[in-house]
């Protein structure tokens, strides 16, 4: 299946060959919810006065601290609520369904790429061209026994790149690079799987995570961190510049 992520501020889209979001849990999409309900591993079910209640395991690739969910249906099997819990039993995600249109109809151009990009550009505030990184952003989470070893800045005529090298027991490289609006729409094939981050949608492989935020491209690259550790680093990156 082809998944396309639009970045209208750069007139750019990213194309994945992926089964996302069907290969992971999603509290707002019916098919992954149904797949979780069909999974018999550690599943609990009970009938209530108002309907039915399922407790199931979850698989959130971008957040392994989420471990289970409670799905509530009414007597007519309509979805009412979904609550996703972390390892401590706290509710991390809460979804309430007021109405679901099971017979929804869409115009033939609803999923057409150019049309979606045009609509997105009309509703997106276009930022000014970003060619310099005024303040370097640092991750708030750094793996144990690991620290910043070096910081390098590379300039060219149209952009700027900052390379932060972290050394120690769990080394990794964090790159920040300015990006610019393309005159014509660009479709870029992407290696890896889409992943939901605190700042939007990124791409993850076994050794890297990449994403765009405020027209700056970010990369975390490593040969030693697990995907879970990489995502801990990535999700700790503040969208506002901070000091070390």
pLDDT recorded at residue 244? 42
pLDDT recorded at residue 172? 98
Q: Is 40 left (phi over 0), alpha (psi -120 to 50) or beta?
A: alpha
Phi, psi of 208 (to 5 degrees): -160, 155
Q: What is the mean pLDDT of the chain?
A: 87
pLDDT cut 90: percent of the chain above it: 51
- For residue 72, the number of C-alpha atoms closer than 13 Å in the C-beta half-sphere is 14
Round to whole Å and give the CA distance between 148 and 62.
24
CB 219 within 8 A of CB 175: yes
pLDDT recorded at residue 240? 52
The answer on pLDDT for 189 being more than 80 is yes
Cross-strand bridge partners of residue 47: 52
Tokens of 113: 């790429």
The answer on pLDDT for 150 being more than 60 is yes
pLDDT in tens, 117-146: 777 767 665 555 556 787 889 999 999 999
Domains of the chain, earliest start first: 1-126 (no CATH), 129-235 (3.30.200)
The answer on pLDDT for 79 being more than 50 is yes
Question: Using CA of residue 86, residue 89, residue 92, residue 96, what is the dihedral sign?
Answer: positive
pLDDT recorded at residue 44? 96
pLDDT band at 239 (very low <50, low <70, confident <90, very high): low
Cross-strand bridge partners of residue 194: 203
pLDDT recorded at residue 7? 79
Question: Using CA of residue 10, residue 222, residue 3, residue 91, what is the dihedral sign?
Answer: negative
Going across the sheet that includes 200-204, the strands are: 146-155, 160-168, 172-178, 216-221, 208-213, 200-204, 193-197
């Amino acid at each position: 299946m082809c998944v396309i992520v639009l970045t209208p501020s750069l007139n750019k889209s990213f194309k994945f060959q992926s089964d996302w979001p069907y290969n992971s849990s999603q509290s707002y999409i019916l098919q992954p919810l149904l797949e979780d309900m069909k999974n018999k591993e550690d599943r609990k079910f009970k009938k209530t006065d108002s309907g039915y209640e399922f407790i199931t395991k979850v698989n959130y690739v971008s957040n392994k601290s989420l471990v289970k969910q409670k799905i509530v249906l009414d007597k007519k099997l309509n979805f009412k609520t979904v609550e996703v819990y972390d390892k401590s039993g706290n509710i991390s995600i809460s979804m309430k369904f007021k109405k679901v249109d099971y017979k929804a109809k869409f115009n033939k151009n609803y999923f057409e790429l150019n049309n979606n990009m045009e609509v997105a550009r009309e509703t997106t505030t276009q930022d000014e061209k970003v060619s310099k990184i005024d303040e370097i952003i640092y991750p708030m989470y750094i793996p144990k026994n690991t620290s910043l070893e070096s910081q390098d800045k590379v300039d060219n005529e149209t952009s700027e790149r900052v390379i932060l090298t972290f050394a120690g027991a769990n080394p990794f490289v964090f790159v920040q690079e300015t990006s610019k609006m393309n005159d014509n729409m660009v479709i870029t094939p992407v290696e890896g799987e889409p992943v939901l981050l605190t700042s939007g949608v990124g791409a993850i492989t076994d050794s890297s995570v990449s994403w765009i935020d405020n027209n700056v491209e970010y990369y975390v690259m490593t040969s030693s961190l697990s995907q879970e550790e990489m995502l801990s680093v990535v999700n700790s990156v503040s969208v506002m510049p901070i000091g070390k």
